[in-house]
Structure 1
Amino acid sequence: MKPTLAPLLLACLALLIPERSYAELQVGATIMDVTPVKLPVLVNGSMKSRSVDKVYTKVNARAIVVADGEDRLAIVVVDSCMMTRPFLDEVKKLAAQKTKIPADHMLISATHAHSVPSSMGCLGTSADPEYTPFLRGKLVDAIVAAEAKLEPAQIGWGVGNAAKFTALRRWIKRPDRISNDPFGNPTVRATMHAGRNWDDVIGESGPEDPDLSLISFQSKDGRPIALLANFSMHYFGAPSLSADYFGLYCNGLQEEIGKKLPKDAPEFVAIMSHGCSGDIYRRDYTKPQDQWSFTDDINEYSSELVKLTMGIYKNITYRKDADVEMAENRMQLNYRVPDKQLLEWSQRIVEKMGDKLPETQEEIYAREQIMLHERQSTEVVTQALRIGDIAIATTPNETYALSGLKVKAQSPLPQTMVIELANGGDGYIPPPEQHLLGGYNTWAARSAGLEVLAEPRIVESDIELLEKVSNQPRRFYEQSRGPAVETILGFKPSAYWRLDEFNGPRARDLSGNQRDGIYEPAIAYFLEGARSKSFCTGTETNRAVHFAGNRLQTRVNDLGDQFTVSLWIWNGIPLDARDISGWMFSQGPNHGLAAYGDHLGLGGKQHPGKLVYMNGTDRKLHAGKTAVERWTWNHVALVRDGDKLTVYLNGKPEIELESKPGASGVLLEQLFFGGRTDNDSNWEGRLDEIAVFDRALNAGEVSQLAK
C-alpha cells in the first residue's frame, strides 16, 4: 500500500496556522479619595445654588481596569452628581497618555449623589471652579493606579431582587388636578412624589427595575479583587458633604468581604454604579406612610442592601477565560429650544435679574431657555462593553427605569447591566409618551433638554453596540405564556392583545389574525399587570399599560350580534372624582356617541365602584351589584348573545338584561378600550389581557377566563 500524503499535509498546515491564544483575564482596582481639600464647596442637585463647609463622609472615585492580553478597558464610578462630556473627554485623553487604555475604552460615571461637590453647572448651581480641575487630576490618577494593579483574575455574575429598596417616585395625577409648569401652562399631569397624597393621583407612571446586579472579580486563587454593583435607586439624601448611600454601601461591603482577607492582602474595592432611576426613589408610595420607616434611615437602608448583596455574592460562580470587547457611539442630538415667544419671555426675566443668581423657579427656567437657545444641540456618548458573557451598556442621562428594562430585555447577552450618567450629564430623557404627561423631568433645561426622541435613539444605540461587542443579534422581547394565556388561545379569540409593549403605537395581536391595535398617545407602558403567575411562567412579571385619558383603537370585522369581550381592569381614580370613574370598552364611530353600540364602564359618584353598562340606543345606565376596590385587578367580561347581554365580574354575573344589539355594518367594527367613543370619562388606570371572541362564551368558559 502506498503511503498517503494527507497526514503530512495536515501537519504542515498545523504549523502554518497560529494557535488560538488563551484570553487570560486580568483585573486591577483602586479607590481614590476625591474629597475637596478646600471648603466651602458648591454642591449640585438643588434648584438653587448652595455650598457646604463640612465633610460628613469622604467622597471617592472607584476604578476597575480589565484586560485580556489584547484589549484593556477602564470602569470608573465617581461620587458626583453629574459630570459633563467635555470634562470627561479631557480626563480620558489625559489618562490614555499615561496608560495602555484607549480613550474610547474608558467608562466614567457618576453615582448621582446630591451631597457631593459640583463639577457640572445645572439649574441654579454652577460647577465649582476650584474643585473641577482637582477632580480631573484625581480621575486620571485613579485609572493609572488601577492599571498598575492588574493581575490574573476570574469573573462572575449575580443578580437578586431588591424590590423593597426601590419604587416609583413619578405618579400620574388626576385629570382634574393638573398643575402649572414654570412657564405658566397647565401641563403637569405627572410629577415626582405626587403619590404621597392618594387622593391626587391615579397611579405610578412607569415600572421599577428591582434588579441588584453584581459583577465580581477575583484572583485566580479566589481572593476578592472588586465587586461592581448596579441598582436603580435615585439617591437617599445626606447632610453636609457625603457619598450618600452609595458610599455607605461600598464601605459596608468592603468591611464584610474584607473580614476574610489576610491583613497583607491588596485592598478589596466595592463599587455601586447608578442604574436607570430617573423616575425612581426609595419610598414606596403604594404603601401607607407609616410603612416608610425602613427606607427613611440611610444607615439601615444601606446595611440591609449589603446583607442582600452578600446573599447573592456567595452563590456567584466564576470563569477565567473571559475576553474583553468595548465600543462607543457619538451622536448629535438637538435640544428642545424655546420658540420666539418663550425666548422673549425668558430674556425679559433674565435681564431683570441682572447679575444676581436665579432664586425662583421662573428665573431658573428662564435662564435655562437662553442657554438651550445658544447651544441648539450637543454630542452624546453611548457605550457597550463585554467581559466574557457579561455586558454593560451606558447612557449619559438620567434614564427612566423603563429604558433600562428595554436594553436588558433586548440585549444579546442576558447578563447585562445598564449604568446611567456615564460619559456625560445630558439630563433626563423621558420616553416620548412621558413628555405628554409633563412634570419636572420634562421641563426643557440643561437637566432635561434633549429632543423628544432622545430616549429611543439612545436605547437603540445601546442595543446596536451590544450586538457589536457580542457579535450576536438582539433578543426580541416577548412575554412567556402562562396557563391563563393558553386558556384564552384555546378558546380561539378573534383578537388578543396582551398589552405588554415597551412603547406604542402598536398593540400586538397574539391571536394570529393580524388585528393589531393602535395606542393613542397618552399611555404609560410596561406597568405591573394582572396575575403574573397565571399569565407568565416562572418569576416573570406580567405587564400592562396605564391609560391616562387616551384609548386603544382596534377593529374586529366579524363580530355580528354574538360576541364576547374579556379583559382585566385596574381602576386608578378615586370613586368620588366624577360621575363615571371611567369607560373601559366602547363600540362605534370615533368622536361621537351614535345610536347603537355597547359601552362598559365603572361607576363613580353614580353607582360607586360598580360595573355600568349603556347601549347607544336608549342610553340608559345599568349597574352591577358588587363594588370594585380601587387599585386591584379584576376580570370583566361582556357577553352578547343576540338580544341577551350579560356582564360578568370575576366570573359571576353582575348585569343581565335584554338589550338590542347595535346596527350591523362597518361602524361596529371599530372598538375602543380605555375610553368611550366620544372620549367622555375615559379610563384612568390599567387594562390588561384583552381578548375578543366572535361568539357568546358560556358561563363556564367565562369562569375559566377569570381564574
Structure 2
Amino acid sequence: MPTLTAGFAQVDITPPIGVGMSGYGSRTKPADGINDPLIAQALVLSSGEQAAAIVCMDNIGLNWDMVCAARERAEVASGIPEGNIVIAGSHTHWGPMTSGGKYMPEYLRATISEEYNETLVAALARIVAEANSSRVEVVAGIGSGFSDLVTFNRRVGAPDLSTLWIAAMPPERAIIASREGNRLAREWRRGEHRGPRLSAPIAELDGNRVGPADGEVGLLRLETLDGMPLAGLVNFACHAVCGGDEETFYSWSADWPGQARAAFSSLLGGPMMFAAGCSGDQVPRWRQGNSRERVGKSVGAEAAHVWWGIDENSGDLPLGVTRRSIELPPNTRVPSLAQAQANLAAKPDPEGSDAQWERACVMLAEEIEAGLAAEVWAMRLGDLGIIGLPGEPLTEIGLQIKQRSPFAHTMVVSLANGAMAYFPTDDAIHAGGYEAEWSPVGLGTERMLVETGLDLLRDLYGRGEG
C-alpha cells in the first residue's frame, strides 16, 4: 500500500474595513472593525497516484464562479486536479459579502470588493500549493464524539402542526430543545432509513415539538511519524451566528469556529480545521455575550478529547476522490422572473427594507431561470467517507447520508464547492418556513442529494484507491 503524506498551510483572509458584510439583512453599513481575524486553511493528502485538497475558510460560502477560479489556479500551482479540491465555508455571519446578496439594497451591494475577491481566490490557490509542497509522511486516525448540548433545531413544530422559526431561546428553554433534539438524532440508527422528525409535545416548551439536533463531532487526525500533530479536520453542524456585544455587529469575526480552533490548538499544540456539517436548521444554544467562547470551547475541547481517544493510526489508508454534477428541481412557489420583477417594481421604494422579500424573489427567480446545477463531491480515506454539498442542507439530509453510508465514519460538509441556497427536505417544503421559502430548490432536492451522495460513497468504498 502506498505511503500517506499530508501537508497543511493557512493564511489570514481578513478583508479591509469598508467591505460589505454577509449574513444579516438588517445590516445598514459595511464592516467598521475587526474582532478577530478570518483565516483560510488547506490540507493536502496524497497516496500513490491519488491526491486531494480540502480547503476550509471563514466565509459564509463562495459562489460557483469563485470556487472554479480558485480550484483552477490551485491545480496550476499544485498539480492537484481541480476536481480533487473541495473549498468549504464556515458560514460565519461576520465575514465578507463576496457576491449575490441581491435581497440587500443597492448601496450595500456596492460594498462588495472585487479587489478583495481577487485576493481571496489567489490566497486559496496559494495555500493549496504551499500545503502540497510541505507534505510529509503521516499516520491518520478517525473518530467521533458528541458535543450534544450545544445546538438546537430552529424549526419547531407548533401544537397546531404549523412550523415555527425560533432562532434563539432563553437558556432554560434552549437546553430542553437541545437535549430532546439530540435524543432524536441518536435514534437515526446506522443501516436504517430515516428516523423521528419531531419529538412529542414538550410541556416546558408550551406544547411545541422539536426536530433533530446533530451533536456529532467528527474528526480526522493527522500526525507526523514522530507523533506531532499536523492537523485535525473537525466536522460539526451549527450555524456560526453566536455574535458578541452589540458594538461588534459590524466587526469581522470567525465567530465560534475561531474559538473552537483556538481551544483545540491550546490543548493539542496543532491546528484545527472546521468543516461545517448540515447546519441549515442548527443554531447555537447561546447568543451574544460570551457565546462564541462557550460554543467554540465546547466543540474544540470535544474534538481534542476525540483526538486523544483514537487508538488506531495508519499510514497506508486508501485515498480516493469522485464527484458528480446534478440538476436540482426548482421551487415552484417562486413567482416567474417577470412576475417577481413586476412585484418589486410595484413597491413604493424597491430599495427599501419593506421590499426585501420582493428583491429576494427576483434573486430566486433569476437563479431558477439560470438552472440549478450542483456538484456533489466525495472523498474517502480509509474508513472515512466525506461528502461535500454546495449549500446549506437541513440536518436530516446529513443524518440520512451518515446512517446509510458504507463507511464506519462519515462527514457531510456543507457550503462545499458552492453556496447555492438552503437545501430543505420535502417535509420542510410542505411545512413551509424560512429555509424552504428562501431557496430556489424544491421538492425532490432531498432525495437527489442523499442518493447522489450515497452513490458516490458506495463507488469509493467498492473500488478503493491507493
Q: Does 1:83 pair with 2:62?
A: yes
Contact residue 213 and residue 417 of structure 1 kept, 8 A: yes
What is the aligned counterpart of 1:225 among 216, 230, 244? 230
- Structure 1 or 2: more strand by fraction: 1
Contact residue 376 and residue 390 of structure 2 kept, 8 A: yes
**CA shift at 1:293, angstroms?**
8.7
Q: Distance in 1 between matches of 2:13 and 2:84?
A: 22
Per the alignment, in what secondary structure is the counterpart of residue 385 of structure 2? strand
**Matched letter for residue 458 of structure 1:** L
Where do residues 132-147 of structure 1 align in structure 2 (5 Å cutoff)? 132-147=117-132
Q: Does 1:297 pair with 2:291?
A: yes
Per the alignment, in what secondary structure is the counterpart of residue 407 of structure 1? helix
Contact residue 192 and residue 439 of structure 1 kept, 8 A: no
Q: Does 1:306 pair with 2:300?
A: yes
Q: Which runs of no fewer than 5 residues in structure 2 stay unpaired?
A: 174-203
CA RMSD of aligned residues (A): 2.6
Q: Which residue does 1:173 correspond to in 2?
A: 158
What is the aligned counterpart of 2:425 among 412, 425, 431? 431
**Matched letter for residue 45 of structure 1:** G
Per the alignment, in what secondary structure is the counterpart of residue 62 of structure 1? strand
Contact residue 347 and residue 366 of structure 1 kept, 8 A: no
Contact residue 140 and residue 221 of structure 2 kept, 8 A: yes
Q: Which residue does 1:45 correspond to in 2?
A: 23
Contact residue 190 and residue 438 of structure 1 kept, 8 A: no
**Matched letter for residue 55 of structure 1:** I
Per the alignment, in what secondary structure is the counterpart of residue 314 of structure 1? helix
Q: Distance in 2 between matches of 1:293 and 1:85?
A: 31
Contact residue 423 and residue 446 of structure 2 kept, 8 A: yes
**CA shift at 1:154, angstroms?**
0.6
Q: Which residue does 1:576 correspond to in 2?
A: none
Per the alignment, in what secondary structure is the counterpart of residue 114 of structure 2? coil
Q: Does 1:68 pair with 2:47?
A: yes
**Matched letter for residue 254 of structure 2:** A
Q: Does 1:157 pair with 2:142?
A: yes
- Structure 1 or 2: more helix by fraction: 2
Contact residue 212 and residue 396 of structure 2 kept, 8 A: yes
Q: Which residue does 2:178 correspond to in 1?
A: none
- Deviation track 1:2-42 (CA, whole Å, cap 9, x = no partner) reads xxxxxxxxxxxxxxxxxxxx310000001111112x32111
Aligned residue pairs total 418
**Matched letter for residue 131 of structure 2:** A
Q: Which residue does 1:450 correspond to in 2?
A: 441
**CA shift at 1:424, angstroms?**
0.5
Distance verdict in 2 for CA 1:368–1:337, change over 3 Å: farther
TM-score normalised to the size of structure 1?
0.56
Q: Does 1:331 pair with 2:326?
A: yes
Contact residue 329 and residue 444 of structure 2 kept, 8 A: no
Distance verdict in 2 for CA 1:175–1:314, change over 3 Å: same
Q: Does 1:253 pair with 2:264?
A: yes
**Matched letter for residue 20 of structure 2:** L
Q: Distance in 2 between matches of 1:459 and 1:432?
A: 12
**CA shift at 1:368, angstroms?**
2.8
Q: Distance in 2 between matches of 1:210 and 1:299?
A: 17
Distance verdict in 2 for CA 1:158–1:295, change over 3 Å: farther
Identical aligned residues as a percent: 24
Distance verdict in 2 for CA 1:347–1:297, change over 3 Å: same
**Matched letter for residue 203 of structure 1:** R
**Matched letter for residue 261 of structure 2:** C
Q: Which residue does 1:202 correspond to in 2?
A: 208
Bigger Cα Rg: 1
Q: Which runs of no fewer than 5 residues in structure 1 stay unpaired?
A: 1-21, 179-188, 259-267, 284-291, 474-707
Per the alignment, in what secondary structure is the counterpart of residue 114 of structure 1? coil
**CA shift at 1:327, angstroms?**
0.2
Q: Which residue does 1:367 correspond to in 2?
A: 362
- Deviation track 1:276-312 (CA, whole Å, cap 9, x = no partner) reads 11111112xxxxxxxx699962223322333222222
TM-score normalised to the size of structure 2?
0.83
Q: Which residue does 1:274 correspond to in 2?
A: 276
Q: Distance in 2 between matches of 1:233 and 1:340?
A: 31
Distance verdict in 2 for CA 1:373–1:154, change over 3 Å: closer
Q: Which residue does 1:550 correspond to in 2?
A: none
Q: Which residue does 2:89 correspond to in 1?
A: 110
Per the alignment, in what secondary structure is the counterpart of residue 357 of structure 2? helix
Q: Distance in 2 between matches of 1:57 and 1:244?
A: 8
Where do residues 244-643 of structure 1 align in structure 2 (5 Å cutoff)? 244-258=255-269, 268-283=270-285, 297-316=291-310, 317-336=312-331, 343-344=338-339, 346-350=341-345, 352=347, 356=351, 359-372=354-367, 374-375=369-370, 377-443=371-437, 445=438, 448-471=439-462
**CA shift at 1:348, angstroms?**
3.5
Distance verdict in 2 for CA 1:40–1:65, change over 3 Å: same
